[in-house]
Amino acid sequence: MQDRPSKDLAESIFEEDWEEGLEYDLEVAKRLFLPELLKLKSENKLGPVVADVGCGPLGISSVLPIEGLKIIRTDLVASKRQTADQFQFPLDLRKLESLSFRSKRNLVEAQQWLGTEGEPDSKSPVVDTIIVSSVLNYLDYKKVLKQLLSYLKPQGRLAIFNAPHRGKFTHGFLFSENGPKDNREVIEYLNTLGLDSETLKLDGINIGSIEKLDKLPQDRDLMKMLTTGNLTFIGKKNV
pLDDT(1) > 50: no
Distance CA 122, CA 110 (A): 9
Per-residue pLDDT, 20: 46
Q: What is the pTM of this model?
A: 0.88
Q: What is the pLDDT of residues 209-220, one digit of tens each?
A: 877 887 877 788
Q: What is the crossing angle of helices 183-190 and 220-228, to 10°?
A: 70
At residue 18, does pLDDT exceed 50? no
* pLDDT at site 171: 66
Q: Give the per-residue pLDDT at 218.
A: 79
Enumerate residues 6+ apart whose C-beta is below 8 A from 170: 22, 23
d(CA 137, CA 24) in angstroms, rounded, equals: 12
Q: What is the pLDDT of residue 117?
A: 67
Which ranges in 72-208 belong to alpha helices (H)? 101-114, 141-148, 168-171, 183-190
**What sections of the chain are H helices per DSSP?**
7-20, 26-32, 34-42, 101-114, 141-148, 168-171, 183-190, 210-215, 220-228
pLDDT at 177: 92
Nearest to 6 by CA among 183, 164, 174: 174
Q: Write the pLDDT tens digit of every residue in 138-182.
A: 999 999 999 999 999 999 999 999 999 877 766 677 889 999 999
Average pLDDT along the chain: 86
pLDDT band at residue 120 using 50, 70 and 90 as cut-offs = low
3-state secondary structure of 148: helix
Percent of the chain with pLDDT over 90: 63
8 or 42, which is more confident: 42
- What pLDDT was estimated at residue 30? 94
Tell which residue, 91, 77, 73, has the closest CA to residue 15. 77
- CATH number for the region 7-237 comes to 3.40.50.150
The pLDDT tens digits of the residues spanning 62-94 come to 999 999 999 999 998 888 999 999 999 999 999
The C-alpha atoms of residue 25 and residue 230 are separated, in whole angstroms, by 11
How many angstroms separate the most distant Cα atoms in the chain?
A: 54
